[in-house]
A and B are shown apart, each in its own frame.
Chain A
Amino acid sequence: MIKLLHIVAIGALVSSAVYAYSIKYETTLATEHLQKLKGKIQRERDAIQVLKAEWQFLNRPDRVQMLAERHLDLQPFVVTQVVKPSDIPNRGPKVDAIGRKLEDLGLGLPTETPRDRKASATTPGAMP
């Protein structure tokens, strides 16, 4: 009976020791991992900071202005380019642009036989 108890006790001791060691190793591993991640985060942050600074450096107004002057045809805004909504003319009456064009070309009356061109003077000539 006592022997069995001893065996159980020793078994419990060994297993608890193993458990404790495994926990310890896991913790160490996790700490290392955490440290690595922290380092990574820091590096990323630093990189972001550098990129931000670089972004601003590349977007600094004098550089943008220089590039715009060299490559764009844009002009500075002037007031005369602004139109009030009330100044915009209303839409004109709807016209059949194609039909009018045909009419102008004399094709609007296809059934009519062509007459003497001289008789229908479209452009008044010089009067004597």
Chain B
Amino acid sequence: MEHQREATETVVKRGRLTWLRDVFRMSGEKSEPRVGLVILGFSVLFLAITGRLVYLAVAPNEQVGLRRATSNAISAARPDIVDRNGEILATDIRTVSVFAEPRRILDKDEATELLTAVLPDLDAKELREKLGTKKGFVWVKREITPRQQAEVHRLGIPGIGFVPENKRVYPNGTAAAHVLGFANIDNVGIAGMEKYIDSQGLQDLNGAGLATEASDLKPIKLSLDLRVQHLLRDELFKGMERFKAIAAAGAIMDVNTGEMLALVSLPDFDPNNPVDALEKDRINRMNVGVYEMGSTFKALTIAMALDSGKVNINSTFSTAGGMMRFGRQVIKEYHGTGRTLTVPEVFVHSSNMGSIKMALAVGVDGHKAFLKKMMQLDRMTTELPESAAPIVPQRWGEINTATIAFGHGLAVAPLQALAAVGALVNGGYLMKPTFLKRTEEEARQVSTRVIKPETSEAMRFIMRINGEKGSARKADIPGYFVGGKTGTAEKVINGRYAKNRNFTTFTAIAPSDKPKYVFLAIYDEPKGYAESGGYSTAAWNAGVTTGKVIERAAPILGLNPRFDPPPSPFPLMAKLGAWGSR
């Protein structure tokens, strides 16, 4: 055994020796081993080179790594937001931010000292802690001025660098604050249309590393008209001071397309500096606040009654007694006449009893179904992410129908009510308001017919009569054939209706024969003033403001003033011989 193993070992040794000898043998015919070795050598070399190439291609080098780290951190580009005429409402501008690579800073205390000397509003302690971390990338300060950039640059601290960033600016300031919302320092939309844009997939695009240039993104065109938006805010602001109201809101909608041309809620905020945007009284009252709309709701009641066929324009309702009793509750007439009123008169005199009788004629279930159809009982969602659900009575009995008939007991967002009024007068097409530009055809596709065209004509007719001789006279700007309805609701304070605290609304349409726009103005707790004789009802504040708004906005909106009333604005009403048509 032992001997055998030795023998084999010597054989192996001898075999290796002969192979080695072959390698160095110079004669040609025995040189295959040498050629083999050379092949092997080159193969290894080339494999190494290939491997290195692949490694270089795949593995990111440090420079690329840093760029990626910053591109994750820097604020993403956002598309411009423009109004319907292309005026810029929000845009990105380039600013510079300072960052640090703590690992590469040699003397961190000195760096902190120098940086805080140049950027005095930095917190030295916080900065020292940041620089003390082992991270590869930390922000020192975002969005500095070019002057500060030059100063920081001059310090020459290794490991401190600059990176260009996008900063969102709103050049018009407060003008359309509630619609636009705002974006935070990382250019992520927090509220309003800015948040809507993000929800439409912008953030995913940025996450994939695309679209960091504003020029890659198409501007978002809103339905707002900046000029109208401004004048609405201006008038509401003046009104708020004059009537000493605690809040105001207003909107203008195109009734045929559902486009919002303006939406204002006061007090508002500056989206460039949205520190106070989240305070409670800065909410968007058109969208997030829910209110009892008062007599404005009578328009819905009358439309429902007329559309059901149980009531026609010449039906009469007795208001004798001036009050109605429901169990323990008593509902009184506010502008009592004690007469028997026709449907238009119920509207013009804003008769609570007339509205109640009409609603009861339709019945509780019918009333509920109609309001549901008019989108008054569910949360209305538009592009704006903020919205509020209406406050609907838990148990809806006869008394609820009676109060809701004249606008109490059901709190809705004013935007909701505006959409409903739009549908009442535009021929019966209900559509959700939109803040994006759209055409009439697009709007028709998403709209539903809720009332008959004849009912719509009747509604236009009674609103016009109210504008001519009723409570909406304050807004009857000559030439525009305005119709409207006031609404004054007493505010609920601690569960009771407060007599001296009103919530006033005014809804107007123009021109009444073929409405194009619906205007809404709202004041919260307006006070009486000298000319109003102390009255703080809607006509004296919201009505006055709406009149001014129509006067200023109509030329911009392209409404042509007419001196003679249209020859036959309401043919059907004239044929039926409705009250006031002659």
Using a CB–CB cutoff of 8 Å, the interface residues on chain A facing chain B are: 45-46, 49-50, 52-54, 56-57, 60-62, 65, 76-80, 82, 84
Contact = CB atoms under 8 A, between A and B. Distances in A.
Contact of A79 (B87, B227, B234, B477): B477
Contact of B175 (A62, A76, A77): A62
Contacts of A50: 93-94
A61 B230 contact: yes
A63 to B, nearest CB: 9
Interface stretch (B31-39, B165-173, B310-318, B363-371): B165-173
Q: Is chain A's binding surface mostly helix, strand, loop or mixed?
A: helix
Given A46-B93, A50-B94, A76 B478 contact: no
A47 B480 CA distance: 45
A50 B229 CA distance: 24
A62 B230 contact: yes
Interface string B539-571: 000000000000110010000010100000000
Given A82-B561, A84-B563, A53 B555 contact: no
Given A60-B173, A82-B479, A49 B92 contact: yes
Interface centre among A49, A52, A57 (most CB of B within 10 A): A49
B226 to A, nearest CB: 6
B88 A56 contact: yes
10 contacts: A46-B94, A50-B93, A53-B88, A61-B175, A61-B230, A62-B173, A77-B552, A77-B555, A78-B551, A79-B480
Contacts of B124: none
Given A62-B230, A82-B479, A76 B551 contact: yes
A45 to B, nearest CB: 6
A61 B91 contact: no
A84 B479 CA distance: 12
Determine chain B's interface SS by DSSP, over half rule: mixed
B101 to A, nearest CB: 23
Contacts of A56: 87-88, 91, 171-172
Given A60-B171, A82-B479, A52 B88 contact: yes
B427 to A, nearest CB: 27
Given A53-B91, A56-B172, 9 more contacts: A49-B91, A53-B171, A56-B88, A60-B172, A61-B227, A62-B172, A62-B173, A77-B552, A77-B555
Contacts of B229: 61
Contacts of B477: 79
Interface string B337-368: 00000000000000000000000000000000
B72 interface: no
Nearest to A82: B561
A5 to B, nearest CB: 28
Contacts of B148: none
A77 B556 CA distance: 10
Contacts of A53: 88, 91, 93, 169, 171
Contacts of B172: 56-57, 60-62
Contact of A76 (B87, B169, B230, B552): B552
Interface in B215-236: 215, 226-227, 229-231, 234
A52 to B, nearest CB: 6
B171 A79 contact: no
B214 interface: yes
A76 B551 CA distance: 9
Contacts of A62: 172-175, 230, 234
A40 B552 CA distance: 45
B171 A54 contact: yes
B169 A79 contact: no
Contacts of A49: 91-94, 214
Contacts of B171: 53-54, 56-57, 60
Contacts of B88: 52-53, 56
Contacts of B231: 61
Given A52-B91, A61-B227, A65-B230, A79 B173 contact: no
Nearest to B548: A76
Nearest to B560: A82
Contacts of B87: 56
A123 B477 CA distance: 49
Nearest to B87: A56
Contacts of B480: 79
